[in-house]
Structures are given as structure tokens and as C-alpha cells.
Structure 1
Amino acid sequence: MVFEEGWATSPLRWLMNALGDAQLQRMAGDPGLVAAVDQHAAWLRDAIPLDRETLGDYLLGFLDELRHLGWSFTGEPDAPSLRLTAVCYLTRELGLLDEGRTA
């Protein structure tokens, strides 16, 4: 994943563009991926309020930790990519990037 300038201004939109659209399409043909992402989404549902601001703040902290660890997206379903895909899934399902929303 490339952290281009301005990624932190709208982290949910950045993640959807960088990873989300492709990963969500990939889920359509991979039931195992759906199950794994659903587990991560359930964890997020239990851990934080699922509003645009809180999910965006969570994403910023999570991405900051991944950058610190030197993690990079390889396309393989490791724990960080599953968590990021779950954020994308929830963002789409909750309509957090619908018109008029900037996160």
C-alpha cells in the first residue's frame, strides 16, 4: 500500500480506493474470505462505535501501527489485510461514504 499525500485527511475513502473495492469484489467469489472478514467485522462491531468518525480514527491508528511495523499488502489474506477489508466492508454496508460524507 502506498501512503500518498493526504491519505490521513480521508482515511476511509483512501482505504476504499487503495484496497477496498478490489477486496470487496474478491469476497464475492471466496466464501472463506467472507467468513474471515466477517469475524474481523464482528470484532470491530463489539470494540468500537461504528460511525464514520470513530471508524476513521480507528483506521488511522491501525494504519499507523502497520506503517511502524513495516507491513505491506501482498494480496494474501493475513490478519492486517482481513482487518482492513473488514473496515472496507463496514464502510460500504453502513454507507459511510455516501454523498455528502468526507471521511
Structure 2
Amino acid sequence: MSPLARVSETYGPRFAEFAFEPAFLAAVDQHVAEVRDRLAAGSAALHPPAPDAEALGDYALGFLDALTENGWLEPVGHDYAVCRLTAISWLVRRHDLLDLV
């Protein structure tokens, strides 16, 4: 399974939490912006383009590898990693990136 498919399958269901967790939604929105900025190298576009599926997949894989190396365990709530992984999942769904990998 590709890293994007794995992240989307695991963290996509968390989108339902946005309805009753506005702070989580705001945090994920910030992570989406940071991931887009990181992948687009600071593009100044008013409407950021869809991220490259391969680049986002590489980023997700590196992030997951770092979490594994650090012994991260998913918490009950929302930590930095959960927000970042949910943001990656949101980008995948928003731009239909699973069809491209």
C-alpha cells in the first residue's frame, strides 16, 4: 500500500471530528498550509496548485519513518503528528491524489 493510501485510510476518518472540534480543524488547516509551502518551495500563488502526488508520498513516507524511529504512539487526542497526518490525508482527498499513484 502506498504511503498516501495508508495515511488516507488511517486519518481520513478523522475529518468527521472537524464538525465538533474547531481547534482541530484550525490546526489541520495550518498543517495543510505548511505542507503545501514545504512542497511548493514557497510558491506565492493565490490559489496553491495541487501538490505533486509523488512528492507528497515521499514526504508522508519520511514523516512516518521518523515517527516510527522515535517510537511515536498515536494519542487519544490530537498532537502534532496527528494533525500533520490528517493534513496529508486532506490534501490527498482534496486533490484526488490516490488516482495518481
In the alignment, structure 1 segments of 5+ residues that lack a partner are 1-8
Between the two proteins, the alignment pairs up a number of residues equal to 91
Question: Are 2:29 and 2:87, in contact at CA under 8 Å, matched by a contact in 1?
Answer: yes
Deviation at 1:28, TM superposition (A): 2.7
| SS of residue matched to 1:25 | helix
Percentage of matched positions with identical amino acids: 42
Runs of 4+ in 1 over 2 A off after TM superposition: none
TM-score (norm 1): 0.80
In the alignment, structure 2 segments of 5+ residues that lack a partner are 41-50
Question: Are 1:36 and 1:82, in contact at CA under 8 Å, matched by a contact in 2?
Answer: yes
1:14 aligns with 2:10: no
Structure 1 segment 1-103 matched on structure 2, within 5 A: 9-20=1-12, 22-49=13-40, 50-97=51-98, 101=99, 103=101
| SS of residue matched to 2:97 | coil
Deviation at 1:63, TM superposition (A): 0.3
Higher helix share: 2
* Whole-angstrom distance in 2 between the partners of 1:92 and 1:28: 17
* Whole-angstrom distance in 1 between the partners of 2:86 and 2:76: 11
Distance change >3 Å, CA 95–CA 102, structure 1 → 2? closer
TM-score (norm 2): 0.82
